[in-house]
Amino acid sequence: MKEFLLDGSSLTIADVVAVAYGKPGSPRVSLSEVARGKVARAAAAVERLVESGEVAYGITTGFGAFKSKVISRDETIELQRNILISHAVGLGESLDVPTVRAAILIRANTLARGHSGITVDTLETLIAFLNTGLHPVTPSKGSLGASGDLAPLAHIALPLIGEGEAEIGGEIVSGAEAMKRAGLSTLTLRAKEGLALTNGTSVMAATGVLEVARARKLVGLAEIAACLSLEALNGTDAAFDERIHELRPHSDQILSASNLRRILKGSELVRTPDASNIQDAYTLRCIPQVSGAVRGAVSYAEGIMETEINSVTDNPLIFINQSGAVEVVSGGNFHGEPLALAMDHLALALTELGNISERRIMRLTDSDANGGVLPAFLTRNGGLNSGFMIVQYTAAALCTENKVLSHPASADTIPSSMNVEDHVSMGMTAGVKLKTVSANVADVIALELLCAAQGVDFRRADGKARLGEGTADMYDSIRRVVPFIEKDVALKPHIEAIRALVHAAMNS
């Protein structure tokens, strides 16, 4: 894709991922001609409102609790600058570049609908951030999720007026210098523009979209890891029988079971029917039920994010009827509740994906639990060697952190702006938590892959028993970067090598 046209209505999660992780200008993002016309029409309507002296929230009044403070026509320009510099009070670690790029794209797309009153020049300058690689330094903390992501969006918009900081060419410089290096002119914001730039859900949506995309791939990786563990543990695939899942027809459970059968197809390490060992522990037998439920949570979050990135989420909104009459209507589309609930749900689901993975790591390293199929802690000379003993500790620590982070941010609210904004979503907090949970689960899956590959090597000492169609590829990828561990060595470099494989797959 050489060029992507924003029209406000047809952005997809795949588009956001492509722009977020792509090189600046590849694909090149532009405003469609139809969108340009709608944006220009709304901006002209705002100018007419200002000239007429009509009172309209955020255009000729202050913001939040200052909604009743009327601003003179001569002060409307200063008002828009003030909202950026006064709202840019975020703290914490800066958002990574892909999240910032995704947020800019989503914000531009919502403004392209032509209901926000921004000018074409300002919108195209914002879009130019993506094409020139100008990435505003944006703190991750400070948003309450209503009125949208005020603080982080203000930081993103600051370079437009020559303020703030931005990364460009691998260097962090002042906003003014970044604009100069990008070949862009700083702007004087017109009426409504500062509010249009800061009021909305674009940063939490960007976080949610990227994490949903990563989660979809993470579930697939987790199913491969589970199958490799099953082979290492001499497990049976009987519980994945299609007939079982047709009798409990959750679509994602059926999909998961089908995927497991495909991954294990042709495996010679799967246990054949054994009257003395009829069924496996839940961590192997119930993979489709757990993984399928997680897939369902991902699908739910995907639906929410797809809708959100093509929505108008600022306030107030500009409506122009067929006769040209203009109406400014205040509403609450900036409220992040749908996103907050979806991201909290997804964080909980991914936590469960990590929990079941950690329990398989325990089974791989506990010779009593696996019936002596594998040696204790996956090492030959136990006692002298501790083997993979502490690998399970690390997985347990990550899972415990996730359990703490699974408390829903959306269950909380703290009133703000002199109690005018008296219920907020905490959606960005949900997004920040989700990001940490996702990274932790990816690490747990990496640890399971490390242990499972070691276990497989013990099971097929001659190296001839065939792995499944899906697990064979994963095993080969692991063994290209990590050898069989004969005796105690520093495991950290090996863990990092597999982590790199997992994270690269999630971000591809």
Q: What's the pLDDT tens digit per position in 64-102? A: 666 677 777 778 888 889 999 999 999 999 999 999 999
What does the pLDDT read at residue 118? 96
CATH of the domain at 114: 1.10.275.10
CA–CA dist 140, 180 (Å, integer): 26
* 276 and 147 housed in the same domain: no
Per-residue pLDDT tens digits for 14-40: 999 999 999 998 889 999 999 999 999
Residue percentage of the chain with pLDDT more than 90: 85
Q: What is the DSSP letter of 467?
A: P
What does the pLDDT read at residue 1? 57
Q: Could you give the 3-state DSSP secondary structure of residue 116?
A: coil
| Average confidence score pLDDT of the chain | 95
Domain boundary among 159, 179, 200: 200
* 223 and 116 housed in the same domain: no
Q: Is 369 part of any domain? A: yes
Q: Are 205 and 309 in contact (CB under 8 A)?
A: yes
Q: Are 328 and 163 in contact (CB under 8 A)?
A: no
* 279 and 394 housed in the same domain: yes
* 398 and 448 housed in the same domain: yes
CA–CA dist 380, 376 (Å, integer): 8
Domain boundary among 167, 200, 233: 200
Residue percentage of the chain with pLDDT more than 70: 98
What does the pLDDT read at residue 62? 66
Per-residue pLDDT tens digits for 344-401: 999 999 999 999 999 999 999 999 999 999 999 999 999 999 999 999 999 999 999 9
Q: Which of 212-216, 369-373, 415-419 has the lowest mean pLDDT?
A: 415-419
What does the pLDDT read at residue 335? 96
Q: Give the residue among 277, 293, 270, 268 at the shortest CA–CA distance from 356.
A: 293
Hey, what's the torsion of the CAs at 352, 354, 357, 361, to 10 degrees? -130
CATH of the domain at 424: 1.20.200.10
Question: b/e for 188-203, b at 16 or more Cβ within 10 A?
Answer: ebbbbbbbbbbbbbbb
For the segment 295-313, the average pLDDT, to the nearest whole number, is: 98
For the segment 408-421, the average pLDDT, to the nearest whole number, is: 91
* 154 and 287 housed in the same domain: no
Tokens of 350: 């991914």
Q: Is 331 part of any domain? A: no
What does the pLDDT read at residue 420? 84
Residue 160, domain extent: 3-200
What does the pLDDT read at residue 63? 65
CA–CA dist 407, 390 (Å, integer): 27
Q: Is 328 part of any domain? A: no
* 479 and 364 housed in the same domain: yes
Q: Could you give the 3-state DSSP secondary structure of residue 273?
A: coil
* 433 and 497 housed in the same domain: yes
Per-residue pLDDT tens digits for 39-52: 999 999 998 888 87
CA–CA dist 180, 114 (Å, integer): 28
- Work out the angle at residue 115's Cα, subtended by the Cα atoms of residues 112 and 120, and round it to the nearest 5 degrees: 45
Catalytic (active site) residue 300: no
Q: Is the pLDDT of residue 190 over 80?
A: yes
* 420 and 449 housed in the same domain: yes
Q: Give the residue among 26, 13, 32, 27 at the shortest CA–CA distance from 124.
A: 32
HEC letters along 308-334: HCCCCCCCCEEEECCCCCEEEECCCCC
What does the pLDDT read at residue 64? 64
Per-residue pLDDT tens digits for 418-473: 888 899 999 999 999 999 999 999 999 999 999 999 999 999 987 789 999 999 99
Q: Identify any residues that bridge with 319 across adjacent strands, giving them in sequence order.
A: 327
CA–CA dist 498, 475 (Å, integer): 11
* 110 and 7 housed in the same domain: yes
Q: Are 320 and 45 in contact (CB under 8 A)?
A: yes
When pLDDT is cut at 50, 70 and 90, the band that residue 56 belongs to is confident
Q: What would the DSSP string read from start to end of 392-461?
A: HHHHHHHHHHHHHHTS-GGG----BTTTTB-----HHHHHHHHHHHHHHHHHHHHHHHHHHHHHHHHHTT
Q: Could you give the 3-state DSSP secondary structure of residue 277?
A: coil
Q: Is 321 part of any domain? A: no
Q: Are 314 and 300 in contact (CB under 8 A)?
A: no
From its phi and psi, is residue 377 left (phi > 0), alpha (psi between -120 and 50) or beta? left
What does the pLDDT read at residue 294? 98
Q: Is 316 part of any domain? A: no
Tokens of 492: 């950290």
The CB density around residue 57, as the number of other CB atoms within 10 Å, is 18
* 135 and 265 housed in the same domain: no
User: CA distances (Å), 327 to each of 57, 303, 310, 321, 356, in order?
Assistant: 12, 31, 22, 8, 54
Q: Are 153 and 202 in contact (CB under 8 A)?
A: yes
Tokens of 320: 């122009």
User: CA distances (Å), 178 to each of 165, 166, 185, in order?
Assistant: 8, 6, 10
The CB density around residue 10, as the number of other CB atoms within 10 Å, is 12
Tokens 């897939």 correspond to what residue? 295
User: CA distances (Å), 261 to each of 190, 240, 271, 383, in order?
Assistant: 60, 7, 14, 38
What does the pLDDT read at residue 413? 94
* 449 and 489 housed in the same domain: yes
Domain count of the chain?
A: 2
Q: Is 318 part of any domain? A: no
When pLDDT is cut at 50, 70 and 90, the band that residue 505 belongs to is very high
Q: What is the DSSP letter of 23?
A: B
For the segment 262-274, the average pLDDT, to the nearest whole number, is: 95
- Give the active site residue among 21, 57, 393, 475: 57
Q: Is 324 part of any domain? A: no
What does the pLDDT read at residue 60? 75
* 224 and 151 housed in the same domain: no
Tokens of 406: 């699974």
What does the pLDDT read at residue 326? 87
CA–CA dist 360, 282 (Å, integer): 10
Domain boundary among 200, 227, 246: 200
Q: Which of 9-18, 58-67, 139-148, 452-461 has the lowest mean pLDDT?
A: 58-67
Q: Is 135 part of any domain? A: yes
